[in-house]
Amino acid sequence: MMLKHLLVLICASITSLSVSAQSWPTRPIKLVVPFPPGGLIDNMARLVSNKLSQELGQPIVVENKPGAGGNIGASDVAKATPDGYTLLMASPPLTISPALYSKLPYKPENLSPVGLMGRVPNVLLVSPDSGIHSLADLTTKAKSQPGHLNYASNGQGTSLHLSAELYKSTANVFITHIPYRGAAAGLTGVIAGEVNFMFDNLPSALGLIQSGKLRALAVTTQQRSNALPQVPTMEEAGLKGYQVSAWFGLAAPTGLPANVQMRLEQALQNVAQQADTKASMVKVGAEPTWLNAQAMAQFMQADYAQWKKVAQYAKITLD
């Protein structure tokens, strides 16, 4: 009798889960952005939330939870119930932080991809007054003056910091890192000649490039950017094997019911492939790129492997 009762409970539970998944969503969904308002990831989250809300028929509330390089927001979602009502705006810290931190406030395996929507080139920048007109110029100068050149970043362990360290390891040059309090301060340092160069996300640097305050030497993606078609890629500029992109998409707590995962992924794909969504991305310098959950997981694993290698080369650890 006890076994029979247990089997009845299990069957009822499975039926309830299936019905819940089929009827999802029945209430508002929270989308956590692990950064302050106003940046690229936040802007993309608000674009996605409005359109995804229309696809799913429920409000999607954006909640900013910045701190610890994106780890606070990621931790909040990783520890949430995997029912589809708490999502994360995913971005490079999900692959960078596990490569740099010996201890994280969450387990990376407790977050799973939903879909990747776009990639963002980083761009290598110098002052127009620097006398440096190409990546080859910069590398030649760095090799002729080991340790005399320096570069800015928006802080230790960021995508911009690691982009420069990847350049150093690939080109075999010794250049000093000068971390600033944010990308804007670092760009000001490049313009003023305090530092020799900086990598930045293309969207935030685009206006300064177009106004002539900064010179773009190369973009870090495999293809040239539509926003800067005249600027070569790092590989075209002579650095074979160099490829970096910032990126954004959605992740969720691991263990979503299969039907919820499928519906959420399909809805996100519909949003990503809309013409006006793509146009909004291109307008800010992003490259529309759709990857489903499986392809996104493979992309993230490769991204993590690259940053782990760079962190070991540069001896970067954060705790």
Digit-coded pLDDT (tens) for 149-182: 999 998 888 889 999 999 999 999 999 999 998 8
Same domain, 199 and 182: yes
- Torsion angle in degrees (nearest 10) through CA of 197, 198, 199, 204: -120
pLDDT digits (tens, 9 = 90+) for 201-257: 998 899 999 999 999 999 999 999 988 999 999 999 999 989 999 999 999 999 999
Averaged pLDDT, 114-140: 96
Residue in 243, 192, 242, 216 with CA at minimum distance from that of residue 138: 216
241 within some domain: no
Same domain, 114 and 259: yes
The residues near 200 (Cβ < 8 Å, ≥ 6 apart) are 122, 123, 125, 154, 160, 183, 186, 187
pLDDT given for residue 318 in this prediction = 80
Same domain, 161 and 202: yes
- 315-319's contacts with Cβ under 8 Å and 24+ in sequence apart are 316/100, 316/156, 316/157, 316/161, 316/162, 316/165, 317/100, 317/101, 317/102, 318/69, 318/100, 318/101, 318/156, 318/157, 319/101, 319/102, 319/103
Furthest CA-CA distance within the chain: 85
**Domain range spanning residue 178?**
121-219
Q: What percent of the chain has pLDDT over 70?
A: 93
Same domain, 69 and 113: yes
Same domain, 255 and 210: no
* Of 219, 254, 269, the domain-final residue: 219
Same domain, 165 and 205: yes
Q: What is the CATH number of the domain that holds 57?
A: 3.40.190.150
Q: How far apart are CA 202 and CA 110, in angstroms?
A: 31
How far apart, in Å, do the first and last CA atoms of the chain sit?
Answer: 54
45 within some domain: yes
How many distinct structural domains can be found in the chain?
Answer: 2
pLDDT given for residue 161 in this prediction = 93
Q: If you average pLDDT over every residue of the chain, what do you get? A: 91
Same domain, 186 and 40: no
Same domain, 109 and 161: no
Q: In sequence order, which ranges of 156-256 are alpha helices (DSSP H)?
A: 159-171, 183-192, 202-210
Number of helices (H) and strands (E), helices first, in the chain?
Answer: 11, 10
- By the 8 A CB rule, do 174 and 319 touch? no
